[in-house]
Amino acid sequence: MSRKGRQPIVLPKGVEVKLQGQSITVKGPKGTLSQALISGVSIQVEPGQVLVNVENESREMSKFHGLYRALVNNMVVGTTTGFEKKLEMQGVGYRAAVQGNLLDLQLGFSHPTKLPIPKEIAVKVDKNTLISITGICKQTVGQFAAQVRAMRPPEPYQGKGIRYDGEYVRRKAGKAAKTAK
């Protein structure tokens, strides 16, 4: 049995959880999220907490037990406080700007790179090089942050590129100069 899956999910004030067949909907102050459930996983809503249960204790269902507990917990956290990812750009001439529903990135290419921003996400740019991505769904926030980082990942020789805030990039030594004889 999954240790994480057995733990109850505490519901803060202002959060409603509804079950409709094989789907769960969480409504909070920041918005509403829903998730479909697979057969074999059941959710039990009690006052102040939610419990995730599985029908049988097989190895496969134990994996889903922890997974769905984490998904429901992320829905509760997202609808109350939300999620945020911060990215920083390092490099000469690297800058970002939000233009309507597009994120415009200048990354040293011969052309500007524009990424469409999903509707559920808010993007803010500070000092032209710090990108802040916020939203209520952890999956979409993380996926969009990964897409932005993939446009120019940090390289190990000069350290240029887009990295997560606080990410350590291990630097490599460059080519050693030939010794003169």
How many whole angstroms separate alpha carbon 100 and alpha carbon 114? 11
How many whole angstroms separate alpha carbon 173 and alpha carbon 181? 23
- Residue 111 pLDDT grade (very low, low, confident, very high; cuts 50, 70, 90): confident
Answer for the pair 62, 1: CB distance below 8 angstroms, yes or no: yes
Sequence spans of domains, the chain: 3-80, 83-164
Chain segment 139-152, per-residue pLDDT in tens: 999 999 999 999 88
Residue 55, burial from CB neighbour count under 10 angstroms (0-12, 13-18, 19+): exposed
pLDDT at 164 over 80: yes
Residue 94 has a pLDDT of 86
DSSP H/E element including 6: helix 3-6
Chain segment 20-77, per-residue pLDDT in tens: 888 999 998 988 999 898 888 888 888 888 888 888 877 778 888 888 889 999 999 9
Evaluate whether 3-80 and 83-164 have a shared fold: yes
Cβ-proximal residues to 91 (8 Å cutoff; 6+ apart), any chain: 107, 108, 152, 160, 161
How many whole angstroms separate alpha carbon 15 and alpha carbon 59? 32
Chain segment 80-110, per-residue pLDDT in tens: 999 999 999 988 888 899 988 998 988 888 8
How many whole angstroms separate alpha carbon 56 and alpha carbon 53? 9
DSSP letters for 118-168: PTTEEEEEETTTEEEEEES-HHHHHHHHHHHHHTSPPPTTT--EEEETT--
Query: For the domain 3-80, what is the CATH code?
Result: 3.90.930.12
What topology is assigned to 83-164 in CATH? Outer Surface Protein A; domain 3 (3.90.930)
- Residue 137 pLDDT grade (very low, low, confident, very high; cuts 50, 70, 90): very high
DSSP letters for 45-105: EETTEEEEEESS--HHHHHHHHHHHHHHHHHHHHHHT-EEEEEEEESTT-EEEEETTEEEE
Residue 178 has a pLDDT of 56
For the record, the structure tokens of 10 come out as 């505490």
pLDDT at 181 over 90: no
**Terminal C-alpha separation, the chain:** 69
Mean pLDDT across the chain: 86
Q: Which residue has the tokens 């079950």?
A: 19
